[in-house]
Amino acid sequence: MSDALRARLGELTRARRGVAPAPVAARALATREPVGVESFLPGGEWRGAQGAIYVHECLRSSLERRRDHWGRLEAPEGPEPDIAALASLGLEHALFLDLETCGLVSSTVFLAGTMHWNGSDFVLRQYFARHYGEEAALIEALGETAAAFQFLVTFNGKSYDAPFLAARAQVNRVILRLPPRHLDLLHAARRRWRDVLPDCRLQTLEARVCRRWRSGDVPGDEVPGLYHDYVRHGDAHRLVPVFHHNLLDVITMAEIARALCAPRHPDRPGR
């Protein structure tokens, strides 16, 4: 996670709470007590029939400079009916989604990152299970949000995110309502760039197509271990980069969708 983003998230938290940072840090160091995610990421507790979870929310414009193209999708050139339908309907009807799980198919989902367009800015929201027992509440909260949208937008979500959520909802006996249409950007990206890129991994597209470069990102294979460590010890400091990783993934999805609608440029690799 970049120092600038960590500092900005800290400013947002302190502004929301109206307290100075020094006493909090001093107490944590003096007593060596675990510091929860709320000390790093602004948000609040969500409660439903399945229990409570922590929800971190922020605007994309609080993390990076606003761009004129945010919230707009042009009609794509190629035969991409799902993208064309979303461009026609409007981006405000889409929910971008990315999951962080404990690795295996039968494991817990502990963080669900979403992003949607509210008419003037992108709203980033992260649903976080502070321990394994909050997974059911996370699925309930996510389903409540997702039911309001017409499109679910994921990257490899048809093979992973959607069936994973459905399986975990069944295990937890939670009713899950996802949007009726699903746009999986991985399949469209492969049709567009598989002949000009070494692979169509999300971070390859992020760098080669979207011209975005990450700093301080956490490797995906380390994510489950960081969450297990948080559950055991309660110190969220090492878990904060996982939230950052998740935010970058959903932001990149919007940029990939926009790039898929852009005209092809034979003189520019990846376009």
* Domain parsing of the chain, residue ranges: 3-261
Helix (H, G, I), strand (E, B) or coil at 185: helix
Q: Is the CATH number of domain 3-261 3.30.420.10?
A: yes
Q: How many residues does the chain have?
A: 271
pLDDT at 105: 65
pLDDT at 234: 85
Q: How far apart are CA 242 and CA 111, in angstroms?
A: 9
Question: What are the residue ranges in the chain where pLDDT is below 70?
Answer: 1-35, 105, 264-271
Helix axes 240-261, 223-233, angle to 10 degrees: 150
pLDDT at 20: 39
pLDDT at 8: 54
- pTM, two decimals, is 0.83
pLDDT at 236: 86
Q: Which residues contact 83 (CB under 8 A, 6 or more apart)?
A: 73, 76, 183, 188, 257, 260, 261
